[in-house]
Structure 1
């Protein structure tokens, strides 16, 4: 298993993976040194994340290898189907998985998503349109949703 740390507008980002795919992408809440050398197996992931943050990429083309239960993997696969610039709710995901009563389980699986941004758990909002919990912090979730929005908010002051 190889790892590297890259800089992003939302903090240092750690990537872990190997020839079997990307296992984790996490934003760090500490100031760690970014990697001078990125392992070859992680270069494409780092490159695509940089393109995403620079507004030049809306989807990822990477081999993913997240570790989790079968149910978690089902939820993560549904997250991958939410298009760039769109959102869904836990209820929407529960319905797609065939069990509207599984909202809490879906929310729990969403919160355990190991591959930040690439598996877009940030695109999940409350049924009422509100921002809901986000492991990376609500300020990052808001930034990501604004970054992906087709309607860019201009700041007046």
Structure 2
């Protein structure tokens, strides 16, 4: 883990002594003060979901990363510290809006996400593709070729695949709705089982 305030604060999530409650309170006050004064680059939390634990990370702009366990959450945090900023802070009680929206989504009660997003980790054509993905309706799919055409680059099918594979905010930005032209699912950062689960979920609730 890179040098930051992350490492010492992570220990507060596993209480082992009588003074831990006090330390946790100090952590909470530090977090709120740092956030108010713009002293934090990224806050994060891990939440449990039907597809396993998801790492949620945000900047003051919005959600910057949603990461599957298979990606290695420590590696994701290291990448965020390098690419966004080294001041990475655990917020174990934060992300209420996204946590609630994810809960409603997995319960079949939500079709779109309203939480603000920060797409700074995607640039150029990849960022354009992510914008197109949010236009694919819930319960529907689109081919890589169709997304390329909608982005104004019909021959950039492979580039669309790369944009989906490196989507920093899966589920919220629904790259799982992009499939091959023959209708087969294609790859997915969270694994083929996760992609199939999400498509079944949306199909059943549509």
Quickly name the TM-score band, shorter chain normalised. 0.7 to 0.9
What is the match of residue 19 of structure 2? none
RMSD value over aligned CA atoms? 2.0
Aligned equivalents of 2:135, 2:71: Cα separation in 1: 31
2:105 matched residue in structure 1: 52
CA contact (8 A) 1:14 1:26 kept: yes
**Matched residues in 1 for 2:161 and 2:71: separation?**
26
Tell me how many residue pairs correspond in the alignment. 148
- TM-score scaled by length of structure 1: 0.88
Identify the residue that residue 38 of structure 1 maps to in structure 2. 93
Given candidates 169, 175, 188, the residue that maps to 1:115 is 169
CA distance in 1, matches of 2:138, 2:93: 27
Number of the residue aligned with 1:12: 53
Higher strand share: 1
Report the structure number with the largest CA radius of gyration: 2
Structure 2 counterpart of 1:155:
none
Aligned equivalents of 1:151, 1:37: Cα separation in 2: 30
Structure 2, unaligned stretches of length 5 or more? 1-41, 74-89
- Write out per-residue CA displacement over residues 89-126 of structure 1, whole angstroms, 9 at most, x where no aligned residue: 00001110112111111111111100010100000111
The residue that corresponds to 1:64 in the other structure is 117
Q: TM-score, normalised by structure 2?
A: 0.67
**Greater helix percent: which structure?**
2
Distance (Å, rounded) in 2 between the aligned partners of 1:83 and 1:25? 20
- Partner SS, residue 11 of structure 1: coil
Structure 1: gaps of 5 or more residues: 153-157
8 Å contact from structure 2 (residues 62, 118) kept in 1: yes
